Chains A and B, each alone.
Chain A
Amino acid sequence: MTATTPSPPPAPSPAVRRARRGRWGAAAPLLLGASVVAALALLSLFVGVSDVSPAALLRGDSDAWELVAVSRGPRTTALVLAGVSLSIAGLIMQVLVRNRFVDPSTAGTVDSATLGLVVVMLYAPGLPLIAKAGVASVFALAGTGVFLALLSRMPLRSPVMVPLVGLMFGGVVGAASSFVAYRFDLVQSLLAWTTADFSGILRGRYELLWVAGVLAVVAWVVADRFTIAGLGAEVATGLGVDHRRVLMTGLVVVALVSAVVVTTAGVIPFLGLVVPNVVRLFLGDHVRRSIPWVALVGAGFVLVCDVLGRTLRHPYEIPLGVVVGVVGSVVFLVLLLKGSSRVG
């Protein structure tokens, strides 16, 4: 994306800048961002039907604490974990496929994970959550593999063709899920997975998301390899990176994250697509530098959307997936039309 110049932090004098350069120069805005997200998370704790006020918590009201421990806390944590991990998964996928219009939800990964869940419901509904997520991951991995195979069979790929094929592939996989679900009376369960809804998140039902969180951190650590792998097989090999292995690592991370989020909370559309693109507008293509920002913006975006969903129709709730779908598709549309002059 061409330079919309990042609004730089107010420029201090050169001397000060030199003194601050190094770790703090980069870390200060990040800390600021992190505190904004923390504030949002705190806000999200106090939004809801039953009253939990900061005052009550400070008083040591045991009911209020109980509510936070069982429901509000897990929900906020789940939101942050899902937002962070999905956004990073989207970034990885975009780097590896070398296309900024791709993310797990436009490449059939999420649809494949959902199909996996439908199959589990059919053949082994009693499996523990972690095993369900495992099956979903296998399906997600396979689906992503098929997507890549489709891509490699398209010699001429314009940047916009890639997500187009991904979306259609996802549609076909989705139709297969609907077919199975319809046939075996699972339509309702399917509906629950296809719109992310965090209202059912309670203590004991979200912990799997920590796996996604850990994977996001792993991705952060090996970020530079992804960048190099994103330069293509020849360049990467020339630089001494095992392209295949890095590619596989990336895909496993993406598939696992998508599967875990779908299993615990449902499908959050566009998140992995929009967040990395917005960050790229300001920071450019440096993966390692943008990962923390992608994580922060992802968490913040999800938190804001969730608070919106909970307040718009108080005391009822609009599922997160719907709110993100509206906001995300508008942002994506703007990105698409702004970028299309260069693409076309």
Chain B
Amino acid sequence: MSVETAPAAAYAAAPRDDSERRARLLTGFSVLAALVVCAVFVLWDLPSAWEYVLELRARKVAALALVAVAVAVSTVLFQTVTANTILTPGIMGFDALHLLIATLVVFTVGSGANAVTSADGARALWALETTLMVVVVALLSQWLFVGARRDLHVLVLVGIVVGTLFRSVTSLLQRMLDPTQFAVLQDSFFASFNTVDETLLGLSAIAVGLTLAAVFRLRATLDVLALGREVATSLGVDHRRTVMGVLVAVAVLVSVSTALVGPITFFGLLVAHLAYRVVGHRHRHSLPTAAALAVVTLVLGQLLLERVFSYATGLSIIIDFAGGVLFLALVLRRSRR
């Protein structure tokens, strides 16, 4: 090793450049892998009458990719804002909140079920739900993260209990709905990648795209934000405002993915940690890598499920299991230190 002979500046810079190049390479590689997996999903064993099947699969893969990206990015953002790597919007009950809002909206507005099932109605409902979600998440986060400083573990526990509360209230309201209204709602309460509402797909794509663009422009600020409130403020970041902005983005992403396929609690945790492992914590790498890895995991998982296990189990269940084990491992390792 020629460490001693190297000039100080080069010594400091060299590994920096190295790891930068490596991270960039790995990011590119993950994105490529995501594209390949999507292509395989669509093209695998295409029958001779391919037009119909192609369209069907394209729509499915688009939904999977959208959800994957939304979940991954929202998790990374959430972990940055809360300055810890155990939390996810799912653990804090955000997707349960979305289900509650959706139920509430149908409960109060959608007394005529046909208003909900028509395409226009569905779109209006979607917009209303997402808006409400953003407002409520902003208020809730204000209370939980920005106002009083709370112990992290209390926060997680509060999140879990709040999630239980949301879920219980949701099923309470569902029990009080008409059977027709309930039928409209019911589909959205199981994480399922087989039934994706196509009217919402385009809307979701636009919402996710805009959010991603806004977030990615903030990537440098996010790196600073991850250093914690004091450091970020002293480096000239308007902490409060930026955090609120990021949380709004998280709310949009969570409600998009929940509206499309229902709740998947641990998936974000899984891919975010994979991404940190692979490319480190800088957002210009971690955001796209997490998103790409999420696409790979989800699409590959669905592919295996359809082709190998022939639908023997729900994808979300496996993801929840793996994610839960990962969470326990993280907690145990962290507390040993």
Contacts and interface: CB of A to CB of B under 8 A. Distances in A.
Main DSSP-derived SS at the A contact region: helix
Nearest to A173: B324
A325 B317 CA distance: 23
Interface of B: 150-151, 153-154, 156-158, 160-162, 164-165, 167-169, 171-172, 175-176, 265, 312-314, 317-318, 320-321, 324-325, 327-328, 331-332, 335-336
- For the complex of A and B, the 6 pairs showing the least CB-CB separation, nearest first, are A344-B151, A325-B168, A160-B153, A172-B324, A329-B165, A175-B321
B151 A165 contact: no
A193 interface: no
Report whether over half of chain B's contact residues are helix, strand or loop; otherwise say mixed: helix
Q: A156, A163, A168 — which one has the most chain B CB atoms within 10 A of its CB? A: A168
Interface string A305-344: 0000000110010110011011001101100110010011
B158 A336 contact: yes
Contacts of A316: 175
A83 interface: no
A165 B336 contact: no
Contact of A161 (B153, B160, B321): B153
Given A158-B153, A340-B151, A313 B175 contact: yes
A336 B161 CA distance: 10
B162 A178 contact: no
Contacts of A154: 331-332, 335-336
A318 B164 contact: no
Interface in A133-181: 150, 153-158, 160-161, 163-165, 167-169, 171-172, 175-176, 178-179
A150 B158 CA distance: 22
A325 B167 contact: yes
Contact of B320 (A157, A169, A171, A183): A171
B172 A329 contact: no
Given A155-B335, A172-B324, A172-B328, A322 B154 contact: no
Contact of B335 (A156, A163, A182, A313): A156
B320 A164 contact: no
A150 B313 contact: no
A325 B169 CA distance: 8
A269 interface: yes
